[in-house]
Copies of this chain bind each other. A is one copy, B any other.
Amino acid sequence: MAEEQSAAIGYKPLYMQVRESLVQRLIDGRWQPGEMIPSEIQLAQELNVSQGTVRKALDTMVKEYLLVRRQGRGTFVAQADDAKLVFQFFRLKPDEGGAVYPDSRLRALDRAAATDDEAEMLDLAPGAAVIRMERLRSIGETPVIAETIALSADRFPGFPERDAVPNNLYHLYSTHWGITIAQAEETLKAVAAGADAAALGCSVGAPLLRVHRLARDLSDRPVELRISRCLTDALHYAVKLT
């Protein structure tokens, strides 16, 4: 690396510095999703470190789903629409049968002033403009999820019209604004169905799984606040604890 190690205080291992330098290339868009990155040997020469140090940095980025290794071919920048990555942030599975990714129907798309909660979670000034969406997601013909999604309007200029919004939003964020969703925190509660009951085809007061998600980009900045109300009669939320 160009800079020398500073004093003991604030010390960062070399491979973490390499990692940060490589993540910056993703943030800057110098490396685009799907693109093959230089080989470990090339990166090592470029950064003046050994191949082993580059390897350790790449290994951590692979574990973070930022890169994908393909033996014999090379290392590639992960894409939000990779079949496996689609389920990185989607944990609802049918009780019977394999994983499915529900279709979406956009019921509303507005610009509005952020609520206090939205402003705080998204790190915006009070009352800043947000893009807010209401979606109904279905498996086959059966509606299973009602979603409210809020985005900072500033970060998504030229957001598409209602008919042009695709099902996979994270892929849209990536292709149109170069924003990669790298991690998310979810909090789950059981709640009684209220205004969503009609859309979901359940009775008022029926138990719903409410999932509150804050999604962050590569720089850890909050990007999207999403609140989903899920019918869990034939679905469940799956978690592996290891």
Contacts and interface: CB of A to CB of B under 8 A. Distances in A.
A18 B213 CA distance: 39
A190 B191 contact: yes
A184 B239 CA distance: 9
A180 B143 CA distance: 41
A64 interface: yes
Interface string A201-214: 00001111110100
A240 B189 contact: no
A89 B242 CA distance: 8
Contact of A188 (B64, B205, B237, B240): B237
Contacts of A187: 236-239
Interface string A189-226: 11110000000000001111110100000000000000
Given A190-B190, A190-B232, A191-B190, A241 B88 contact: yes
A148 interface: no
Interface centre among A89, A205, A208, A237 (most CB of B within 10 A): A237
A191 B191 CA distance: 9
Interface residues of A, number: 33
Contacts of A184: 240-241
Nearest to A230: B190
A189 B236 contact: yes
Contacts of A88: 241
A138 B44 CA distance: 55
10 contacts: A91-B239, A183-B240, A186-B239, A186-B241, A187-B238, A188-B188, A189-B232, A190-B208, A190-B230, A207-B207
